[in-house]
Every structure is written in C-alpha cells, then in structure tokens.
C-alpha cells in the first residue's frame, strides 16, 4: 500500500498540483499586499476612503463585504495575468518540435528508392545519348 501511495504522490499531476497550491498561497500574499498597501491608498486619493471595511449602516458592515469583493477581483485578475504569462511560456517550450524517430527499415527503404530513381535517370540519359 505504501508503494502505491508513493507512485500516486510522485506522479506529475500530483506534484504539479502541490507546487501550484504552494505558489498560489505565496502569490495570494503578494497580491493581498499589493491591494492593501498600494492599490487601496491610490483609490483613497480619489474617493477619500482608505479601507471599505470602515463603511457600515447601523449594524450592517457592508464595507467589509465590498472590501472582500474588491480584493477578490484584483486577486483573480492578477492570477489570470500570471497564468496567461505561464501559458505563453509553456507554449513556446512545447512549440519546439521533438526529433522524429524513424525506423531503420524505413530509412533503408527511402535510400533504396532514391538509388532506384538515380539509376532510372542515368539509364534514361544513356538511352537518349
């Protein structure tokens, strides 16, 4: 059972998923800092509110919801751009054609065909001369 688990855990898809989750968490922290420390202060210059979380009506904290939605859209867009960049990079890697392995018998048949063509041309030239 342990060997089966090791085979499963070491498959490419599982490892890619694990790496993706770890990178996603770290990237999420970067984007959260970008939102809180850079984007929201710029928005505050225009609307006068640094953090939507301070907005409320009586007991309803609708500002917290607005802040969460704004964070989500900025994070989702950032991840979209990041994935788009990685996809473009990966396509360039995949675009390089892999060397085609040709069976040796196919190579020999191609050589024989070419030799027969050459011989036929030589015979045709000799007949016309």
The burial class, CB within 10 Å (0-12 / 13-18 / 19+), for 27 is middle
In a domain, 123, yes or no: no
In a domain, 104, yes or no: no
Range of the domain at 51: 2-97
Q: Quickly list DSSP for 49-77.
A: -S-GGG--BTTB-HHHHHHHHHHHHHHHH
pLDDT of residue 129: 67
In a domain, 109, yes or no: no
pLDDT tens digits for 40-49?
778 778 877 6
pLDDT tens digits for 8-50?
666 667 667 776 787 777 777 777 777 777 777 787 788 776 6
In a domain, 126, yes or no: no
CA–CA distance, 43 with 90 (Å, rounded to integer)? 35
Contact predicate 27/33, CB 8 Å: no
The closest of 56, 84, 50 to 70, measured between CA atoms, is 50
Between CA 80 and CA 86, with CA 82 as vertex, the angle to 5 degrees is: 115
């Amino acid at each position: 059972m342990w060997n089966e688990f090791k085979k499963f855990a070491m498959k490419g898809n599982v490892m890619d998923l694990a790496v993706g989750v770890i990178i996603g968490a770290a990237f999420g922290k970067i984007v959260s800092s970008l939102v809180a420390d850079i984007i929201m202060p710029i928005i505050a210059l225009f609307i006068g509110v640094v953090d939507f979380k301070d907005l409320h009506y009586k007991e309803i904290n609708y500002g917290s919801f607005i802040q969460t939605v704004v964070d989500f859209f900025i994070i989702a867009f950032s991840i979209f751009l990041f994935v788009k960049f990685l996809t473009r990079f990966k396509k360039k890697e995949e675009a390089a054609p892999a060397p085609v392995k040709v069976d040796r018998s196919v190579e020999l048949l191609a050589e024989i065909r070419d030799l027969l063509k050459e011989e036929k041309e030589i015979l045709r030239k000799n007949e016309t001369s």
